[in-house]
Amino acid sequence: MKELIKKLVETYGPSGNEDKIRQVIQEEIAGLADEVRTDALGNLIARKRGQNGGKRVMLAAHMDEIGVIVTHVDEKGFLRFGAVGGVWPHTLLGGRVVFANGTVGVIGTEKVEDEERNKVIPLEKLFIDVGAVDKTSVPVQIGDVAGFSRPFADMGKRLVAKAFDDRIGCAVLIQTMRDLKKTPHDVYFVFSVQEEVGLRGAMTSAYGIEPEMGLSVDVTLTGDTPEAQTMAVELGKGPAIKVKDGRMLAHPGVKRLLVETAEAIGIPYQLEVLERGTTDATAIQVSREGVPAGCVSIPCRYVHTPSEMVDYDDVTNAVKLLVAMLEKPIIL
């Protein structure tokens, strides 16, 4: 899957600007589904028809990534910017961004006084330098959105890249489509938009699909780095089956189904309790009259930074878990 993962994470696609990444995913899933469509909000929805008697199952992974948006251009051609999604200012200084038209920018800062050197520099003191000599030579404009620019790195067992949140979930869904040869269920693989700014794509797609069960595939935090927050999730210990996050309690039947499936096929798994943050499963769960929903999470270090890290075995085991679950009848 590494070639696929590299292609996905290095593609531009901040929230609200998912055209390029949607095209890449559409090419990757060509021939793998009975129907493929893009809805009004921009979600890419691929349906694999099942046999009679199965459930209507929705799997969602968001294809958008965090980014920055130009709010002002000064006379010398420097750009002020705001955040698109959960951008952490302390990860930005000296970083590079890239706009949809290919323009590359470097994030710089105003003068930092001695007493400020050990403090986080706020967004309002940062700017983007696109190499312009004045305002008229700036190749972007107010409202243009940039994503972070950082290459994929294969460290063997561990992988590093920007946008694993949630291109790694997209990779899991694509590989699941490839490996799932037969299923009794009507399975909708949804590559959703605008998750980072409010779960918007999952909200509208779930309303239209009316699933009988829903799962998101996303990243989660870990507790395995020095002085990390206390959390019983580690890289390399298997995909995490969500119990609770900041906005959702997983349906007990869905959680049980995932646990029993993992144990039946002999793959490692972890139980996830995430104190802050959430996923597309929250929007799916409260769609229409309500949907039994859960989440398969890929443990990820350094989430929402330009260098997120995952374990390759966790990724491949997540695929095995989903395929095994979808091959058999679902009883909640």
Q: Which residues are catalytic?
A: 195
First to last CA, the chain: 31
Q: Are 39 and 45 in contact (CB under 8 A)?
A: yes
Beta strand segments in 201-292, E: 213-220, 240-244, 270-273
The structure tokens 């799932």 sit at 180
In a 3-state reduction of DSSP, which class is residue 98?
strand
In a 3-state reduction of DSSP, which class is residue 107?
strand
Give the integer Cα–Cα distance in Å for 70 and 107. 12
| CA within 13 Å, CB half, 176 | 32
Give the integer Cα–Cα distance in Å for 292 and 118. 46
- Which residue intervals of 10-158 are DSSP H helices? 19-28
Give the integer Cα–Cα distance in Å for 32 and 26. 10
Give the integer Cα–Cα distance in Å for 305 and 13. 15
The structure tokens 């029993």 sit at 260
The H or E element containing residue 172 is: helix 164-179
At 224, give phi and psi (nearest 5°).
-110, 15
| CA within 13 Å, CB half, 128 | 32
In a 3-state reduction of DSSP, which class is residue 256?
helix
Give the integer Cα–Cα distance in Å for 131 and 108. 12
Give the integer Cα–Cα distance in Å for 155 and 157. 6
